[in-house]
Structure 1
Amino acid sequence: MFNKTHTKYIQSLHHKKFRDENAVFIAEGTKVVLELLDSREFVCQQLFALNEWLSDHAKTLQQYSGMELFAVKDFELEKISMLTTPNNVLAVFKKKEPVQTLPVKGKITLVLDTIQDPGNLGTIIRTADWFGIENIVCSHACADMYNPKVVQSTMGSLARVTILYTDLEAWLQENSAIKKYAAALHGKNTSELRGVKEALIIIGNEGRGISDAVMQLADEKITIPKRGEAESLNAAVAAGIIMSAVG
């Protein structure tokens, strides 16, 4: 039976410290929860949902063993939800073991330098999934991939895109044989990337762009042609445009 202990536990998982300590994360909403379950990339430990939702998805839930199911009321779900308007279901999933290496040969790999906004990171992951980009490399200063806002923004793509957190400068030096393109305000038109099959594409911080140290390791700067008066593009939007250009 759902109780105050569950409430306190779920609320603690809104914070990275406790997600790390327990090696779990939370996901909310029918689409996200069912996609993560269906992927079998993540093990679901606990699932909290309204009675009607549990009834509607009873057959589906029978496929997944080992998780605890809890029927909760609207006000109980509201207490544990991160959403302004709580959905019908919230689940606690076990994190995957962190990856130590990623294959970059013959692939387009996205490299993120200090993307700190969880919504941006989640959108970039989802967009990478759309364009078939399997791997993303993040600096340690990027938002946590298991932040509830990141998980929510990915809409399930978290199960299909592999993410490595690492010392970006060291990693780029280790992979110096792969051509590195850095998104900047001035550089080669992104349209010239069409047909590129192997590359590291670097996207910088929302406000400061790519750090000087990382920029020095890039082989070439690329830019999205500007026609209007906006000073810059949102990092997730820029990443999407560049991924589209490569594709």
Structure 2
Amino acid sequence: MLSKNQIKLITSLKQKKQRQQHGFFVVEGVKTIKELLASRLKLHELYTTESFNIDAKTEVLISQTELKRISFLTTPNTALAIFEIPKPKPIDNKGLIVALDDVRDPGNLGTIIRLCDWFGVKELVCSKETVDCFNPKVIQSTMGSITRVNVSYVDLIDFIKTNKLPVFGAFMEGEAVYNKQLPEEGILIMGNEANGVSKEVEATVTEKISIPRFGDLQATESLNVATATAILLSEFRRR
């Protein structure tokens, strides 16, 4: 049986403040949990309706009813695990780096982490206002890619100013990316869902790029930030 303290701890980890206080985050789903178990991340406890055959001290068999009580999902997926939040790693200022300026939607961040993993981008640099990468919805949508991408939270302007790489920003009025000669190394800045790249960060951009619209009416206001990131990363890698 789950204790009241166990339930209280798990449910509290939905909040960023509590995750930071306890140093834990929640992962749900067998596939994602197994990916994290195979990584450098340290398991604290595993609650599951079916045995994983791991260290008995960290594996707790529970009923489906108990899993529903602690799950953040509408339809719980067999297992829920608590992992320790790892210590921040230094940023490797080489290659292609993606930087996020105030991206707030957990699904967008999770998808962008997966995209970085897919396109071989090892460093994802986020402004301090960007959604927490250990948010349960972010972790769920990364599908394990969180283990292969180094996500850092920094003062974005200071990071860019102290970096020698060329800085590309995604803007509606930028030059069409299909006409650009793109380098192998650089910083690609993606902006907030509603407001785009902030004026302060815009001042650090050396080259503005855009994804041209081809529709006859040109009525679509903008692309989703994760969709735009996918297109731009594909172009950087294709060149």
**Aligned position for 2:138:** 150
Residue 17 (1) aligns with residue 12 (2): no
Q: TM-score, normalised by structure 2?
A: 0.94
Alignment equivalent of 2:106, drawn from 92, 114, 118: 118
Alignment equivalent of 1:104, drawn from 93, 117, 120: 93
Q: Which letter maps to 2:141? A: S
Q: How many residues align?
A: 234
Which portions of structure 1, spanning 4 or more consecutive aligned residues, are displaced by more than 3 angstroms?
A: 192-195
Residue 2 (1) aligns with residue 2 (2): yes
Alignment equivalent of 2:83, drawn from 93, 113, 121: 93
Counterpart-to-counterpart distance in 2, 1:78 and 1:27:
14
**Aligned position for 1:203:** 190
Q: Which letter maps to 2:147? A: A
Shift of 1:90: 0.3
Shift of 1:191: 2.4
Residue 77 (1) aligns with residue 67 (2): yes
Q: TM-score, normalised by structure 1?
A: 0.91
SS of the aligned residue for 1:158 comes to: helix
For structure 1, which segment, 226-235 or 112-121, has the greater mean C-alpha deviation from structure 2 after superposition? 226-235
**Aligned position for 1:232:** 222
Q: Which letter maps to 1:124? A: I
Residue 136 (1) aligns with residue 135 (2): no
Identity of aligned residues (%): 39
Contact 1:136 1:161 in 2 (8 A): yes
Cα distance, 1:97–1:193 mapped onto 2, change above 3 Å: farther
* Backbone CA RMSD of aligned residues: 1.4
SS of the aligned residue for 1:10 comes to: helix
Shift of 1:150: 0.5
Shift of 1:104: 1.8
**Aligned position for 1:174:** 162
Alignment equivalent of 1:164, drawn from 152, 160, 165: 152
Contact 1:193 1:245 in 2 (8 A): no
**Aligned position for 2:205:** 218
